[in-house]
Amino acid sequence: MVKKVHAIFLLSFCVLMIFSCRKPGVVVGFKAEDFNIEEQILIGKELKENIEANSAAFQILDENDYPEANNYLRTLLNTLLFTPLVQHRTAFDWDISIVQNDTLKTVFALPGGHIYVYTGFLKLLNSEHELLGVLAHEMHYADTDLMVQRIKAAFGGVVLGDIILGNQVQGLAGMVEEIPYMDFTEEEVLGADTYATNIMCLFQYAPSGIIDVIERINSSQEDVQWLQNRFCEISTRIENFNLLIENCEIGVTTNESNYNNFKTSYLP
């Protein structure tokens, strides 16, 4: 019995020493699957604050100066959120912001449901059904843990762990500038296309928005960052889309006139 007590005491002492040797505020590491909903919200909130404080890299259109533009996009986002296919539609604080930059043509999402779309990309699109398809595609990366996985791979688990613990992260303002350029694999892109098409099939909108966008970009050979960051052959994406709409009650609404009014009247 004495030996057993000594063994337990020795084990407890070793464990105590291991943890006492760690520096305060240092996280050994977080696995992507360890980030629960609350932690993803914390990470997204901190990244959002750093993005919106970095006006040199992210010139966000102010709500007061561009209320119509922001309200229009918010209405479209809320349309997509009004479906049971969005897993975290009530858990996340979904919102959308416009970045004034006509040169960079892309869209990205943060953990927690924060979406940023560039004016250059908005001006590239022709209709609501195209924008809705793209937004639904981006929502997939936030609604799953794909975006937090991608950011973890780029920034490191210690950085995200420090954000969760409320520790200051040196250089985070510069790190967030990498987010618009993050890449996605073929499997991830097809998963996002599937998610988006399944949502679009619930509405009267034509579900072909994403395909219409990428085919037009491909034919024009325009330099579009959003397409370059998604490593999947267009033919593969089209084949996947055609399979998805076989059991879809295909809508025909595109709302080109509404969207063109948004581009010409509301955007800078």
pLDDT of residue 177: 98
In this prediction, residue 31 has a pLDDT band, given cuts at 50, 70 and 90, of very low
| Contact between residue 121 and residue 103 where contact means Cβ atoms under 8 Å apart | no
pLDDT at position 164 over 60: yes
pLDDT at position 15 over 90: no
Any residues with CB less than 8 A from the CB of 62 and at least 6 apart, and which? Answer: none
pLDDT at position 227 over 90: yes
In this prediction, residue 106 has a pLDDT band, given cuts at 50, 70 and 90, of very high
Alpha-carbon span 109 to 34, nearest angstrom: 20
Q: 3-class DSSP state for residue 1?
A: coil
Mean pLDDT across the chain: 89
Chain centroid to Cα 230, Å, comes to 13
User: If you average pLDDT over residues 196-202, what whole number do you get?
Assistant: 97
Instruction: Read off the pLDDT of residues 126-155 as tens digits, 9 standing for 90 and up.
Output: 999 999 999 999 999 999 999 999 999 999
pLDDT of residue 7: 39
| Contact between residue 227 and residue 106 where contact means Cβ atoms under 8 Å apart | no
Alpha-carbon span 42 to 46, nearest angstrom: 6
Alpha-carbon span 197 to 125, nearest angstrom: 17
Rounded to the nearest 5 percent, the helix, strand and coil shares of the chain are 60, 5, 35
